Amino acid sequence: MMSFRSLLRSQRSLSLRPSKKFLALHSSCSCYSASAAAIEAERTIREGPRHDWSKDDIKSIYDSPVLDLLFHGAQVHRHAHNFREVQQCTLLSIKTGGCSEDCSYCPQSSRYDTGVKGQKLMTKDAVMQAAQKAKEAGSTRFCMGAAWRDTIGRKTNFNQILEYVKDIRDMGMEVCCTLGMLEKHQAIELKKAGLTAYNHNLDTSREFYSKIITTRSYDERLETLKHVREAGINVCSGGIIGLGEAEEDRVGLLHTLATLPTHPESVPINALLAVKGTPLQDQKLKYGR
C-alpha cells in the first residue's frame, strides 16, 4: 500500500510536469487574435462612430465570423439604443405602378409586364383612414411611398402629400416618405410640413449600379440624400442583396453609406423578391459567403 508521504510526493511530481499537449494548447490560446468585428465594436463604443473607413476595413468586418458579428453588433446596438424597444411602423403605397424607371427588380415599372397597373395618388380621406388604423394598431410612424422617378412637374400631387404629412403629424405620429428624387426646395418644404424621415435607397455599389438601373445615376441618388440631410430630415438609405452582385459590391454599398458626412439614421437591407415579368425574375438569392 502507498504511504501518505509517497502519495504527496507523487502529486507534487505530477503538478510540476505539465504535458506537452497542455503546453501546445496553452500556446495556441495565447496567440488568439480578436476579429475585426470585435476590435471595431470596442473602438466604436469607446470613441464613437467614424467616417474614414476604407473598403479593406469594411471587408475585414464583413469577413468576421458570423457569431462575432452578431455578438459585437448587439453590443454596439445596446450602447447606442434602448435594446428593449422596437418601433412599429406602417408603410402604405399611396401611388402604385406606372413608374418610368427601369429598376430591374421592380414590378411597378411601366416598362415591364408584371400585372401591376398604374394608379392615381390616393385621396386624402383614404390615406388618413389608413394612418388612423395604423396608429390604433400600435404604429408610431407612418410611411408613404409613391412609384415616381421624381416629383418634378407634379406640383399638385406634391402639395397634396405635404397636406398628408401635416395632418398625420397632427395625429401624433412620425412620418416618412419615399417619393423618388427630390430637389433642394422640395426637401425644405417637406421639412416644414413636419416630415420625420425620407427613404431613398442606393440599392447596390456604384460599380454594379448600372447593371440594375440606367434611368437615374448613382450621383443623382446621393444628391437627393444630400438635399434631405441639409433640410434637417432624417435619412433612411440602404440597399438590396441578391441582385447578382458580388461580395465586393456589398462592401462597396456599405462603404458609401459609412463614409457619408453624417450616417443615415436607418439602413434597410432588403433581400430580392424576384417578380415574374421583371428582368430579374429568374435571379436566385445566394446565401452565405
Which domains, from first to last, does the chain contain?
Answer: 19-80 (no CATH), 89-271 (3.20.20.70)
C-alpha cell at 118: 398604374
Burial grade of 199 (CB within 10 A; 0-12, 13-18, 19 or more): buried
63 with 29: CB under 8 angstroms? no
Annotated binding residues for [4Fe-4S] cluster? 99, 103, 106
Q: pLDDT category, 30, cuts 50, 70, 90?
A: very low
Question: What pTM was estimated for this model as a whole?
Answer: 0.86
Annotated binding residues? 99, 103, 106, 143, 176, 236
Instruction: List, for residues 120-174, the tens digit of each pLDDT value.
Output: 999 999 999 999 999 999 999 999 999 998 888 788 999 999 999 999 999 999 9
What Rg, from alpha-carbon coordinates, does the chain have? 27
Instruction: List, for residues 211-255, the tens digit of each pLDDT value.
Output: 999 999 999 999 999 999 999 999 999 999 999 999 999 999 999
At 25 the pLDDT is 45
Rounded to an integer, the average pLDDT of 46-72 is 96
Residues 6 or more apart whose CB falls under 8 angstroms from that of 259 comprise 51, 52, 53
202 with 253: CB under 8 angstroms? yes
Give the Cα separation of 28 and 35 in Å (integer): 16
96 with 147: CB under 8 angstroms? yes
Half-sphere exposure (CA, 13 Å, Cβ side) for 268? 15
Return phi, psi of residue 211, to 5°: -80, -10
Annotated binding residues for [2Fe-2S] cluster? 143, 176, 236
